[in-house]
Homo-oligomer: A and B are copies of this chain.
Amino acid sequence: MATLADVARHAGVAASTVSYVLSGKRSVSQATKDRVRRSIEALNYQPHAGARALASSQAHVLALALPLRGDLYVPVMMEIAIAVTTRARAFGYDVLLLTAAEGSEGIRRVASTSRADAVILTDIGLADDRIEAARNSGVPAVAIGVPAAPAGLDCVDLDFAAAGRLCVEHLTGLGHRVLAFIGEAEAVYTRRTGFAERTLRGIRAAAGDVDLVHRPCEGSYEAVAATLKKILEDRPETTGLIVQNEAVIPPLMSLLSSHRRAVPDDISVVALCPDQVAEQTAPRLTSVTIPAAELGHRAVELLVHRMTSGEDGTEGKVRLIPPSLTVRGSTAAR
């Protein structure tokens, strides 16, 4: 494996000159640049990441902390991971995976060993000890999601309250007056996961005088069956359904047909889910998408900007992405 010194020798220049050609931090004559570049080619030189990290105290690595619960929002998480990695690469960063199992310890570790220059947190609970760890780690951090106390930590997330509102408004706009919100599993609320509460708040606020019930629901077929049965028995005049837990969707659609409720003729369904999921049912679902890729991109951009601009930004700014609702085949006028 060729080293910087090999390149320098081959090109007949000092090692520092090669370094400057590579980093562009000082001007180098065009002739020398060319010569060095040719030597790099010739020797197939690649700088040693560790050496670079040591000398520059920049690892050029971002750590991505995955969810605490592996079962949840899998497609969304995957999309975020891919988006983060892709965007990070565009800035010359690699992405290190941190698992749930390591928890806040992993964050401390990668930060204090300088393995990573910054941290991205996902699946934020309202009170999440990884947040404290990230804040004290000494490296920039951004959360995808919003904790109860975002102070000192930048956050990006979908504006779930607005998303909830949008769903309600879409349905009421179509004339629906009796709505049910099939939410996340009860556990998600008691864990006080931010997005679930915010969605609920947005929905309640927008409901105003229309009739709306909230029913938490697990992803299993039986749970969905029970929930739906109760909704239709208690309030048979329900014509609008809002669904947040994406695992609920497949059983829900099949159960609705066994209950002889046609979508959208008898009942309209709006989902909060990735487009991909919305397009896999028949009929395709009108939905507010979870902009997973955008969240990932924004998170990386925030971090890279903070690191390059030198601003230490203990801002704790929360950036909410406005939701957008796509009308598909599952909603119609009452």
Contacts and interface: CB of A to CB of B under 8 A. Distances in A.
A16 interface: no
A81 to B, nearest CB: 7
Given A59-B50, A258-B257, A282-B222, A97 B81 contact: yes
A250 interface: yes
A16 B81 CA distance: 40
A88 to B, nearest CB: 9
Interface residues of A, number: 60
Contacts of A110: 94
Copies of this chain present in the complex amount to 2
Contacts of A81: 66, 81, 97
A276 interface: yes
Contact of A96 (B53, B95, B281): B95
A217 B173 CA distance: 38
A316 interface: no
A189 interface: no
Contacts of A279: 220
A70 B75 CA distance: 9
Contacts of A71: 276
B221 A281 contact: yes
Contact of A250 (B49, B96, B113, B254): B254
B89 A280 contact: no
Contact of A99 (B47, B59, B86): B86
Nearest to A84: B97
A46, A77, A79 interface centre (most CB from chain B within 10 Å):
A46
Contacts of A315: none
A31 B97 CA distance: 38
A192 interface: no
Interface in A239-276: 247, 250-251, 253-254, 257-258, 276
A222 B279 CA distance: 11
Given A46-B113, A96-B96, A112-B46, A282 B251 contact: yes
A112 B43 CA distance: 12
Contact of A54 (B54, B98, B221): B54
A305 interface: no
22 contacts: A46-B113, A47-B113, A49-B50, A49-B113, A50-B50, A50-B53, A50-B59, A53-B53, A70-B82, A74-B78, A82-B99, A85-B98, A86-B99, A89-B106, A94-B96, A94-B110, A94-B115, A95-B97, A96-B96, A250-B251, A253-B254, A257-B258
